[in-house]
Amino acid sequence: MSSATKAPLLAKGGESKGASITSTCINLCKNMIGAGLLNVCIAFQYSSVLGGLFAMVFSAFVSTAGFLLIGFCCDKYGALTFRDLWRKAMGSSTEKIVDIALFFHTLFSCVGYITLIGDFATKSASGLVPGSRFEDRSFAVGVIVIVAIFPLALLKNLDSLKFTSALGLAITALACLYVFCEAMASSDIVFGTLSEKWWYLKIDIFKTIALFNGSFSAHYNAPNFYAELKDRSFKRFAQCALISFAIGTALFTVFGLVGYGRFGDEVMGNILKGYDEDSTLVQLCWLAMGLSTVFVYPHAFQRMRASFCAIVGKDENANFVPLTIGLLAVCVYGGIKFTDIAVIKMIKGATLGTSLMFIFPALFYINLSNQGTSAIKKNLGENVKLVRILSTILLLNGVACGVIAVAVHYKIL
């Protein structure tokens, strides 16, 4: 695409209205880092300390590469949404695949949130109101869904939840700070565990990679970050991506090692479940995290509902209440059925994560670079073949890591 063609797109963002690099980095980090941080610790149990570090570096590298590949294609073809990029690269006849992928991606997120809500509700109830019905997972989830989540899921405009979303992030940050402080107070245990579990090799390392891939997953929103960037260009987009993924890698690594070091082989998928139930501070932490998750839930649910409507070809407002009840029921069933958030995160990372992060970006580049009037060819020249080879490797990596991780989890391998 010529610079003349791209000019209107650049003007649409507006030099004064676009997001700065700092603001974009903050939003991208928020997109990656949240309550999902609580399950990176168990990934090191699957792979040892050294194996987990290797898996983290590998996952961070390929995840960043996939994110940059999406941004590069958006920059050269003026795509401002994932769907738009799919149309330009794959054609409009297959764009339903985007809706299907996003639907299941957000469905897994919603199921994971319900799982966390069940964890935090029952754990906090066992200490704050022992002997109450809220110690029963199904009862606790049912009451919270009816009283809080269902009314929030009916909201069509989530602007009113900006404050609660910010509060939720603050609560998550404080919970993570508690994990760090408690681990430092038990530093002998932490360093002893890390020394003892320094190295062993198991095929479960593919589950580790899948978990880390799920943690880095922000790729569907990559075109949106590019579109909202002030004075947008691939160079500025790349700066945001490299800074944000570096921050995410550092935080995931340190938090994962600290959590694994603290609990060793007894580490749980949700690390906060491992703390002493008799501590009032821990009980309040569980309660606060539960409330935080409730207010984060509507954001994922709204995207899931919109994707479902796009799949079936109906307006979002058609049968709004029955559809909301139906989708919410599916999420609640899954959240009660799956009691380990790490399992949900691993399956999501191994299937939908690899598709959105590796397979789709690689296909975008390969198809666009093969087009007769390719803007990629004009910009990369002889290097287009090299990047095409790297894209093919990225695609094969996504397929292989995803298939092996699922096979290992279900003991096929």
Angle (deg, nearest 10), helices 280-312 and 96-128 = 160
Task: Check whether 76 has a pLDDT greater than 70.
Answer: yes
Look up the domain containing 265 and give its range.
Answer: 3-409
Total number of domains in the chain: 1
Query: For residues 97 and 395, what is the distance between their CA atoms, to the nearest angstrom?
Result: 17
Question: What is the pLDDT, as a whole number, of residue 277?
Answer: 78
Task: Check whether 364 has a pLDDT greater than 70.
Answer: yes
Question: What is the pLDDT, as a whole number, of residue 111?
Answer: 95
Taking alpha carbons only, the member of 259, 323, 320, 230 closest to residue 18 is: 230
pTM of the model: 0.88
Question: What is the pLDDT, as a whole number, of residue 183?
Answer: 92
Backbone phi and psi for residue 19, each to the nearest 5 degrees, phi listed first: -80, 140
58 CB contacts (<8 Å, ≥6 apart)? 209
Give pLDDT tens digits for 213-257.
988 988 999 999 999 999 989 999 999 999 999 999 999 999 999
Q: Which helix (H) or strand (E) holds 82?
A: helix 82-90
Give pLDDT tens digits for 293-334.
998 899 899 999 999 999 999 888 889 999 999 999 999 999
Give pLDDT tens digits for 116-156.
999 999 989 988 888 899 999 999 999 999 999 999 999 98
Question: What is the pLDDT, as a whole number, of residue 382?
Answer: 67
Per the CB < 8 A criterion, the answer to whether 161 and 152 are in contact is yes
Per the CB < 8 A criterion, the answer to whether 43 and 52 are in contact is yes
CATH, residue 22: 1.20.1730.10
Query: For residues 75 and 181, what is the distance between their CA atoms, to the nearest angstrom?
Result: 43
Question: What is the pLDDT, as a whole number, of residue 35?
Answer: 65
